[in-house]
Amino acid sequence: MSAGNATLEPLLTWLTLILAQLERTFYKVPGSAVIARYVRSSHQNDPGRTVLELILIVFAVRTLMQSRSRDKSEGKLIKFSEKEIDELIDEWTPEPLSAPLTEWEQRDLASVPVIAGPNGPKPKILSTGKTVINLASYNFAGLAGNEHIKERAIETLRKYGLGSCGPPGFYGTVDVHLELERDIADFLGTESAILYSQGFVTISSVIPAFCKRGDIIVADRAVNFAIQKGIQISRSTVRWYDHNDLKSLEDVLISVEKDRRKRGTPITRRFIITEGIFERDGEIVDLPKLIELKHKYKYRLILDESISFGSVGRTGRGLTELYNVPASQVDMLVGSVANGLCSAGGFCAGSTIVTEHQRINGTSFVFSASMPPLLAVAGSEGISFLRNTPSALTSLQENVRAVRAVLEKTEGIAVVGHRASPIVHFHLKIPCIANGSANGIATNPTTVMPPPTGPSFDYEAEEKILQDIVDDALANGVFITRAKRLRGQEMVETRPTVRIVVTAALTKKEIEKAAGVVKGSVAKVLGKRKA
C-alpha cells in the first residue's frame, strides 16, 4: 500500500497545483466570486441540483458543438447543386398555420360590415355607401363623435404625439394619464385608480395580481371570457355558483367554509368575482345583497363593471350609484374606459393599497405600453361630460325602454336581461338548457358546467338564423350584431343571441324606428322558415 501511495503522490501533487492555478485564474475574472458563492450555496442546499446543472451545461456545449449539416458516414458537409436546391424547394409544401375556414366561417367573416370614416351613431357602410343606424357599437352616452372631445384629442395629439412609447412604469406615463386616474377615482368616490391600456386585459390582469395558488375564488358561471382567462392564470381553487343566483352563491360560500373546517386548513384569501351587467345576457347583479354576503362570510369582492360603468346610474357611475352603495364597499372595482367613455383601455379603482400593488404585480400594467395620451384626454373629457350632462343617461334609459317595448311584442324571439341594461339580447323561442338551481337541482360548485336539465339547442342552426336577421336588418338601414363567442375556448357554451346596444345619441323616434326594422327582419326571416 505504501509503495502504491508513493507512486501516486507526485500525480496528486501535480493535480493539486493545477487546480490551485485554475482557481486563482478563475477568481481573476470579474464576477467570479458571485458565481462561486452561488454554486457553493446551491450545492450545499441541494447537491442534486448541482449534478443536474452540470448535465445541462454538458448537453448545451455538445449541442452547440455538434454540426447538423454533416454526412455522418463521410464527415463532410452535404453540398447540393442549384438544380437540386430548386427541386427541393418546389417539392416542399408548408404546413398550414390553421385549419381552412368552413363555409359558415367564410360567410360569417364576409358578413362583417366595414365602416367608411369615423364611427358614431350613424356611420356609413363602405360596401353600399348607405348611412345606417348603429346599434352594434358601445356608445351608451353618445360620446362617439362628440365634437368637443374630438377637438381636445387633436390638441393633445399635437402636443404629445401619438404613442406613449413605453410601459407606464418606465417612460410611458405622462401627466394626462395621471389626471385620468385621478378623474376616475374622484368620479367613483374611491381613494385611487390605476389605468390599463387595454380593456380586455384589465380584469384578466387584476385577478392574478391578487389571487394566487391556494386562494379561493367563488365566481358566477356566466362571467365573460376576460374573467375566465384571469381565473385560469391565477391558478386558484375555484368554486362556481349558478348564474346571477345569490342563493346559490350563499350555498357555495357555506360549503367552502364547511370543507375548510372539515380539512382543518387555515383561512386563506377568498374572493367573489362577478360582473355588474353581464356581457352574456344583460342581467344585473343585486349589489346590496352581494355586499351583504361578502361581509357575512368575509370575502373580498372583485366587480367587473365593464358594461355598467358609463351606462347606468344617474350620472353613469355604475352599479354603486344605481343601488346607492358606497364604492368603498367594493374591494376591486374594474371598469372599461373603452366601453363607457368611448376611448380605450380599462381601470381598477379601490384603496390606495389595491392600486399601488398592481403597479408592480399587474402584468398588463407592467409589460404593456401605456395608452396614447390623446385617448387618456378623451377619457377625462368623457367623465366631464357625464358629470355635467345627466340628461344623457335619462335619454339612454328612455331609449332602452323603447327598444324593449317593441322587441317584447315580437313573435318568435325572447328578450332576456334586466330592463335597465343598455345591452338588449334576444334569442329564438326554441327549447334550451334550463338553469339547474331554478329547477330545484343542486349544482356542483367544483365544475363550471351547469347540470343538463332540459333539451339542448342547435347552436349552429340558431346562429345561422340570427345572422340572417342581422343581414336583413343591415340591408334595411339598422346595424346590429350577433353576440360573438369564442366557441371551444369559453368554459360554458352559451345560447346564440342577437345583441343590441342602445345609445343616447339617437332620439326616441329614431330608436323606435330602428327597433321596428329589427322586428320586421325577425318576422321576415322566421316567416321564410315556416313557409
Beta strands in 276-316 (DSSP E): 300-305
Instruction: List the grid coordinates of 61.
Output: 456545449
- Roughly how many angstroms between the first and final C-alpha of the chain, as a whole number? 107
Q: Do 419 and 509 fall within a single domain?
A: yes
Do residues 385 and 424 share a domain? no
Domain boundary among 389, 412, 431: 389
Give residue 123's pLDDT band: very low, low, confident or very high (50, 70, 90): very high
Domain assignment present for 35: no
Domain co-membership, 223 together with 333: yes
* Residue-wise burial string across 239-266, b where 16 or more C-beta atoms lie within 10 A, e elsewhere: bbbbbbbbebbbbbbeebeeeeeeeeee
Question: Do 124 and 154 fall within a single domain?
Answer: no
- Pick the closest to residue 205 from 194, 191, 215 (CA basis): 194
Q: Any idea which of 25-29, 201-205, 284-288 has the lowest mean pLDDT? A: 25-29
pLDDT grade, residue 434 (50/70/90)? very low
Report how far residue 209's alpha carbon sits from residue 361's, in angstroms, rounded to the nearest whole number.
Answer: 5
**Same domain for 475 and 414:** yes
Rg for the chain, CA atoms, rounded: 31
Is there a domain that residue 211 lies in? yes
Task: Looking at the structure, tell me whether residues 378 and 431 fall in a common domain.
Answer: no
Flag whether 523 is in a domain: yes
pLDDT, tens digit (0-9, with 9 covering 90-100), for 161-202: 998 888 998 889 999 999 999 999 999 999 999 999 999 999
Please indicate, yes or no, whether residues 170 and 236 belong to a single structural domain of this protein: yes
Secondary structure E strands in 48-180: 70-71, 76-77, 115-116, 124-125, 133-134
Same domain, 126 and 154: no
- Domain range for 225 is 147-389
Cell of 416: 332576456
Residue 131 is part of a domain; what is its CATH number?
Answer: 3.90.1150.10
Q: Are residues 460 and 333 in the same domain?
A: no
Residues 333 and 307 placed together within one structural domain of the fold:
yes
Instruction: List CB contacts of 162: < 8 A, sequence separation 6 or more.
Output: 372, 374
Q: Domain ends where: 370, 389, 408? A: 389
Within a domain: 84: no
Give me the residue label for grid cell 381553487.
237
Q: How far apart are CA 133 and CA 514, in angstroms?
A: 7
Q: What is the mean pLDDT of the chain?
A: 89
Tell me how far apart the alpha carbons of residues 35 and 414 are, in angstroms, rounded to a whole number: 69
pLDDT tens-digit map of 204-262: 999 999 999 999 999 999 999 999 999 999 999 999 999 999 999 999 999 999 999 99
Answer yes or no: is 96 within a domain: no
Query: How many structural domains does the chain have?
Result: 2
pTM of the model: 0.81
Tell me: pLDDT of 71 over 60: no
Q: Average pLDDT in the 122-133 region?
A: 93
Q: What is the mean pLDDT of residues 415-442?
A: 73
The domain boundary residue, chosen from 368, 389, 410: 389
Q: Is residue 431 situated within a structural domain?
A: yes
DSSP secondary structure letter of residue 434: P
Q: Which residue has the higher pLDDT, 516 or 264?
A: 516
Question: Is 511 part of a structural domain of the chain?
Answer: yes
Assign residue 245 the CATH number of its domain.
3.40.640.10
Q: 297-324 pLDDT, tens per residue?
A: 999 999 999 999 999 999 999 999 999 9
d(CA 258, CA 472): 54
- The interaxial angle of helices 508-530 and 391-407, nearest 10 deg, is 20
Residues 160 and 257 in one domain: yes
- Domain check: are 384 and 403 in the same one? no
Distance, in Å, from the CA atom of 365 to the CA atom of 264, rounded to the nearest integer, reads 37
CA distances (Å), 16 to each of 9, 13, 23, 28, 424, in order? 10, 5, 10, 19, 83
The answer to whether position 60 is within a domain reads: no
Q: Which of these, 287, 290, 271, lies nearest to 227 by C-alpha position?
A: 271
